């Protein structure tokens, strides 16, 4: 499965249920944000003596590899002020059978959802949600009652949103998943252009590499800036997104959709000129008939994005 398919299919499971509520929730779409904690403020988290905070990585079919391995690298090397390992990462899935994630990497879970210990941190990557067991959502919902942070990476936000935990809260996702997320989960305030969003013990990051920055932010909340910078130096990581949750600003507005190489307004990937639809005097092109139908059913989401873009240079 390639990245295009993953980004599309991670939003597919449960779509019929999610879309059914959109028409009745236009007021929610128009109300705007429920304020999350200030973007520049770091809320410290307690570190137990000896560290070893259980950090659960939820595995699902074709999980995006960097969504898993990026935060895992950060958590694997983070240390306490006493030099103890800060986290004790483990993998959890529906069964302990090997799970094939991105790049055909096979990962053997340490636990299934029935036997996993209570985590202090949960990491949820983008995955193919088709046929995902209800047990996964139930476990995330229940375990999150005892976490310091439950974080999604990329379109793992769809998984977190499906638990209902994000209802009434702010979140972000991969920019190619904005349209579908807004259509499926109108109860969640989607923040386009956010590198990551934090609200209470829930957090979400933008696409793929954004998960590294959110993981660094989590480390900073536990052990502070200096020790986090040691992690960064060891990784030779040059990104600065962990310092600024609004640093995905280039994705805060709609991309150019028309022109020589048209882009699908639903997923922002290359479009097929044989699949088109006219709306408000313009012809838009789509990557698939399915996405054309989603657009036609949910032009309210498209209109919402346009309204949010007022005051910015429009290229659509």
Distance separating alpha carbons of residues 165 and 93, to the nearest angstrom: 20
- Token digits of residue 38: 């200030």
Residues in contact with 6: Cβ distance below 8 Å, sequence separation at least 6, in sequence order:
62, 64, 102, 126, 127, 128, 155
Distance separating alpha carbons of residues 124 and 118, to the nearest angstrom: 15
Q: What are phi and psi of 277, to 5 degrees?
A: -155, 140
Q: How many residues does the chain have?
A: 316
Distance separating alpha carbons of residues 94 and 316, to the nearest angstrom: 42
Which pLDDT belongs to residue 98? 98
Residues in contact with 82: Cβ distance below 8 Å, sequence separation at least 6, in sequence order:
51
Residue 161 sits at the vertex; the CA angle it makes with 301 and 154, to the nearest 5 degrees, is: 80
- Token digits of residue 136: 């996964």
Which pLDDT belongs to residue 29? 30
Which pLDDT belongs to residue 309? 87
List of the chain residues with pLDDT < 70? 1-40, 311-316
Shortest CA distance to 308 belongs to which of 19, 25, 33, 18?
A: 33
Distance separating alpha carbons of residues 46 and 222, to the nearest angstrom: 6
Question: CA dist 262 to 35, 243, 271, 273, Å?
Answer: 35, 34, 6, 8
Shortest CA distance to 7 belongs to which of 183, 160, 129?
A: 129
176, 8 contact by CB (below 8 A): no
Domain boundaries, the chain: 3-250, 254-307
1, 100 contact by CB (below 8 A): no
Which pLDDT belongs to residue 265? 96
pTM of the model: 0.88
Residue 216 sits at the vertex; the CA angle it makes with 199 and 305, to the nearest 5 degrees, is: 50
Report pLDDT digits (tens) over 75-114: 999 999 999 999 999 999 999 999 999 999 999 999 999 9
Number of neighbours of residue 90 by Cβ within 10 angstroms: 15
CATH class (in words) of the domain with range 3-250: alpha beta
Distance separating alpha carbons of residues 35 and 296, to the nearest angstrom: 31
11, 184 contact by CB (below 8 A): yes
């Amino acid at each position: 499965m390639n990245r295009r398919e993953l980004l599309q299919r991670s939003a597919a499971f449960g779509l019929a249920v999610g879309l059914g509520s959109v028409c009745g929730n236009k007021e929610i779409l128009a109300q705007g944000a429920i304020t999350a904690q200030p973007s520049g403020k770091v809320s410290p988290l307690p570190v137990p003596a000896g560290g070893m905070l259980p950090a659960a990585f939820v595995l699902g079919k074709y999980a995006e590899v960097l969504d898993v391995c990026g935060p895992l690298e950060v958590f694997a090397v983070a240390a306490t002020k006493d030099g103890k390992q800060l986290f004790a990462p483990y993998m959890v899935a529906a069964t302990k059978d090997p799970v094939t994630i991105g790049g055909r990497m096979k990962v053997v879970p340490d636990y299934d959802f029935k036997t996993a210990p209570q985590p202090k941190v949960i990491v949820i990557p983008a995955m193919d949600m088709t046929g995902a067991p209800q047990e996964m959502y139930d476990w995330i919902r229940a375990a999150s009652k005892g976490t310091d942070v439950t974080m999604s990476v990329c379109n793992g936000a769809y998984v977190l949103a499906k638990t209902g935990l994000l209802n009434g809260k702010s979140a972000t996702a991969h920019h190619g998943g904005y349209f579908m997320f807004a259509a499926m989960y109108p109860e969640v305030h989607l923040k386009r252009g956010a590198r990551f969003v934090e609200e209470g013990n829930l957090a979400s990051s933008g696409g793929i590499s954004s998960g590294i920055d959110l993981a660094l932010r989590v480390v900073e909340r536990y052990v502070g800036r200096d020790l986090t910078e040691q992690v960064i130096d060891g990784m030779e990581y040059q990104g600065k997104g962990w310092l600024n949750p609004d640093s995905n600003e280039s994705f805060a507005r709609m991309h150019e959709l028309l022109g020589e190489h048209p882009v699908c307004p639903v997923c922002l990937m290359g479009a097929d000129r044989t699949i088109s639809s006219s709306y408000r005097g313009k012809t838009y092109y789509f990557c698939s008939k399915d996405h054309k139908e989603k657009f036609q059913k949910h032009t309210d989401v498209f209109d919402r994005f346009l309204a949010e873009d007022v005051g910015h240079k429009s290229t659509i």
